[in-house]
Structures are given as structure tokens and as C-alpha cells.
Amino acid sequence: MDAYESALRLIPPRYIDICRRSCAGAEEFRLRVGQGMTALCAGRERRLPGDPLREEELLRVLEKATGASVHSAAAEMARGFVSWQGLRIGLCGVAVEHDGAFRGFRSYSSLSIRIPHEARGACDGIFRTMRDGSFVNTLILSPPGGGKTTALRELIRLFANSGRRVGVVDERGEIAAVCGARPGFDLGQACDVMSLCGKREGAMMLLRGMNEQILAMDEITQPEDLAVIREIVGCGVGILATAHAAGAVELRQRPLYASLLDEQLFTRAVLIRQTGGERRYELCALPA
Amino acid sequence: MNLCGAALVLLGCLYGAVSMTREQKRRVAALREMDAALERLGAEMALRLSGLPDLTALLAGSSHGAAARFFTCLHGLLSELGNKPFHVLWETAVERSLQELSAEDRSELLRLGECLGRYELAEQLKALDACRAQLGRSIEARRSGLTDQRRLIFGLWLAAGGLLCIVLL
């Protein structure tokens, strides 16, 4: 099923027709208690007509997204999101902590339903350059919401169809949108997906058990992620990953990423530039 | 003709007695099937942390008799999740497909439905154990009383049939 249709099945029923009519192709739906639902279209948040949302409606959305199974979704919820059929539902509300550890939410004030898109053919141009010779560790860069995961998905598919074994650590279930045992998105013929597990655990299992040539992962955001990348590089496996940054200069300014550059863990970047609603993909070398 | 009539009355009474005994056996079987399915539900939950939609699909396919009927019904109803809360769907499935169970057993199952999926795993497993304990008590009570009840049912029906024959003859 199309990701947008999945998102429509998730939102409060009174908004389904409104969304179908007025915001097909939205990137996100945002639900806030006491406010009308909004849709993010081409980077702009637009309020949809309708009465303010009640917390009860947010709870129904969550009940559907978790399959009414808190025990299954607890680990994800503790990280602030829930995955459902490839959609990432971000959570916000009053948190409950016990002994300094997050236990869940007492109440929910906002949800953000992120709708993934496929961009078939968008990366064909850069892929022609990337496939030549041996694989170079590559970082996909753009500001938040710039299409990093979409580009990552596309490159995974292209590499996996070009005869390389690609392992995907899909921490948030967004890259592959695995439903049951099958990826919701086409990730190519030689692709193995480890869904909903941490980067370290997933990467190590793929390395030990699946003998991958390239490992792909989304959003390098924490020092622990860097430690995983160091380990993978040490094993001689290529890495394809994403990071929040507009370009190499911004990457250098952030302490976490500066060490990536210093250690030459990534030497190539894919830059995503948005011009007038259109995305352009450029390859560039990352300076040490 | 009178003898034929008397024989038919007696046969009718015998059939009534057999049907009642079979009904009792069916209840015990339904309880056993539900107990086995709930045991598997708890085991799958604890081992794989599977969500309830996956678990109901699994149990609909792998359970027997009343339990298969119940989980098939529940799995079908789960398409309404998001419009109706889970415990309401569970309650509907209990009312629709487990009518052979006693009110006490059904209310224990309803209590379980209010807990499933809502709390942490340990709480849910505790509720499952409590429900299975109640079902186990019901199975035991019905099983131990089954022989006596069978005798009583047969005795009563045959006595009633005999009396009717005497009156008719």
C-alpha cells in the first residue's frame, strides 16, 4: 500500500476526506491536542479545516499504530517514536520517568506522522559515479526534512541491484518499512534488512551473520553511532549513512561530525539541495 | 401403537439426556481450547514481544475449536482498531464466539481484555495467568462434576420419560 494511503488510515477519520482533497503528497501530518490537524506540504505547515483535536483522538491513532500492543512498541516509544507500515510517528507529551529512566507518556499532546516517499531515478546520475571502482564510505547530507532517507533508500536499491550485498540497519523502520517479513519499499535484490534494532546491535549481527559488503544506516546523531562506524570501518565493510548538515562546512563545525572528518571515516558526501521544490543531488569529496 | 408411542417418548428423553451431556462436554472442551490458546499467547508475547494483531492471526490459524473461532473473530474485528478501543473489540469477540462459556468465565476473559496490550509485559502476563487460573478451576469443576451430572441428567430424563409412558399407557 502507498505510504500516503497508510497515513490516511491512521489519522482521525474526520480528516481523511479533507486530506484526500487538499493535501495529496504531504510529507507530514501533525496532530496537536487543542489545535486543528496540519499537513506539511513542500516544507510549509498548513492548517486543515476542522474542530480542534482531542487527546482521545491521538490515543486512537497511537492504539492503531502500536496494534494496541504497548509491550511491542515500548522500546520504540522510549526513543520518542513508533513505526507503523513505514511511517514514523513522533511522540510528544508528558513523560513519566522512574529511577531516572524514561518509562512512557502519561499523556500525549502532539504526534507527527512522517510519510516516506520513493524517488525512483533521482540518484541515477550520482550512482553512475559512485559505482565505479571500489566503494567509498559515503555520507548523505541535508538539513532535517531534506530527503536524506529517500536518497539513502534509492542508493541502497541501486547498489543492491548492481550485485553488491547491502545490509540495512533500519533503526526506526523508516528505510525499508518492513511489514511482516517483507520490505514495504523495493530495496533491491541483494539487500538484507535488520529492522527496529539499535545501530550497534544491528550492524554487528549483519557483519557476523550476513557477510555484507556495504552497511547502510540512517541518521548518525550520537557519539555511540560514531563508535559503531569505527568498528565497521575496521572490518573492511563500506558504509552508506546520513547526517543532518547542509554541507561539509556545517559538518566540520559540529564537534560530533568533526571527528568523522578528522579520522577520514567518510571521504565522500552526497549533498541534497532544494531549489524551488525540486531536489538536486551532488557528489563531493569530504575534506580531512 | 401405545408401546410404539412409549418407546418413542423414551427415545426422545434419551436423546435429550445425550444432548445435555454433550453440551457439558463441549463447554469443557471450549475451556480447554481457550486455556491452551492463552498459554500460547503468553509464551509468544514473552518470547517475541509480538503485537496483538500478529498474535491473533497466529492463534486464529493454530488454535482449535472455540479458541480458533474466537481468535478468528477477534482478528477480523481488529480492522476497526483506531475507531474502537481494543478492549471493546475483545469484548465483542467474546460475546459473539464464546457463548458456551459461563458468565463467570466470560467476565474473567473480559477482565483480561482490559489489560492486554495496555500495560507492560509483566502485567499482561500476570493477567493472563489469573485468567488461565480461573479457566483451570472451571475445567476442573466441570470435569469432576461431569460423571455425576451425566448420571443425574440421564436419571432425570429417563424418569420423566418413564412417568410420561405410564401416564400415556
CB of A68 within 8 Å of a chain B CB? The answer is yes
Report percent pLDDT > 70 for chain B.
94
pLDDT tens-digit readout, A105-132:
889 999 999 998 888 898 999 999 998 8
Cβ contact, residue pair B51, A72, below 8 Å: yes
Count CB atoms within 10 A of the CB of residue A200. Answer: 15
Asked if A77 and A129 sit in the same domain, the reply is no
Distance set, CA A286 to CA A72, A138, A247 (Å):
40, 9, 9
Asked if A27 and A109 sit in the same domain, the reply is yes
Is the pLDDT reported for residue B26 higher than 70?
A: yes
Q: In angstroms, rounded to a whole number, what is the distance separating the alpha carbons of residues B69 and A104?
A: 35
- Of A114, A139, A173, which closes a domain? A114
pLDDT of residue B161: 75
pLDDT of residue A1: 57
Asked if A30 and A90 sit in the same domain, the reply is yes
pLDDT of residue A23: 86
The verdict on residue B68 lying in a domain is yes
Q: Looking at residue A65, which CATH number applies to its domain?
A: 3.30.450.90
* Closest CA relative to residue A126, chosen from A284, A238, A286: A284
Number of domains in chain B: 1
CB of B51 within 8 Å of a chain A CB? The answer is yes
Give the mean pLDDT of B56-70.
95
Radius of gyration of chain A measured on its C-alpha atoms? 19
Of residues A245 and B11, the one with the higher pLDDT is: A245
Number of domains in chain A: 2
The verdict on residue A107 lying in a domain is yes
CA angle, B111 as apex, B107 and B116 as ends, to 5°?
Answer: 140
Enclosing domain of residue A73: 3-114
Chain A contact set for B121 (CB, 8 A): 71, 74
> Which residues of chain A carry a pLDDT beneath 70?
1
Chain B contact set for A68 (CB, 8 A): 51-53, 78, 81, 85-86, 116-118
Order of strands across the sheet that contains A166-170: A191-195, A166-170, A214-217, A238-244, A138-142, A268-275, A278-285
Q: In angstroms, rounded to a whole number, what is the distance separating the alpha carbons of residues A232 and B120?
A: 35
pLDDT of residue A104: 81
The verdict on residue B39 lying in a domain is yes
The verdict on residue A256 lying in a domain is yes
The verdict on residue A81 lying in a domain is yes
CB of A210 within 8 Å of a chain B CB? The answer is no
Whole-structure pTM value? 0.76
pLDDT of residue A172: 85
Give the mean pLDDT of B22-44.
91
The verdict on residue A151 lying in a domain is yes
The verdict on residue B27 lying in a domain is no
Q: Are B13 and B160 contacting, i.e. CB atoms less than 8 angstroms apart? A: yes
Q: In angstroms, rounded to a whole number, what is the distance separating the alpha carbons of residues A116 and A251?
A: 25
Asked if A131 and A82 sit in the same domain, the reply is no
**Continuous segment of H or E residues that includes residue B27:** helix B2-48
pLDDT of residue B3: 73
The verdict on residue A119 lying in a domain is no
pLDDT of residue A159: 95
Q: Looking at residue A239, which CATH number applies to its domain?
A: 3.40.50.300
Enclosing domain of residue B120: 34-143
pLDDT tens-digit readout, B66-119:
999 999 999 999 999 988 999 999 999 999 999 989 999 999 999 999 999 888
What ipTM goes with this model?
0.71
pLDDT of residue B61: 94
The verdict on residue B79 lying in a domain is yes
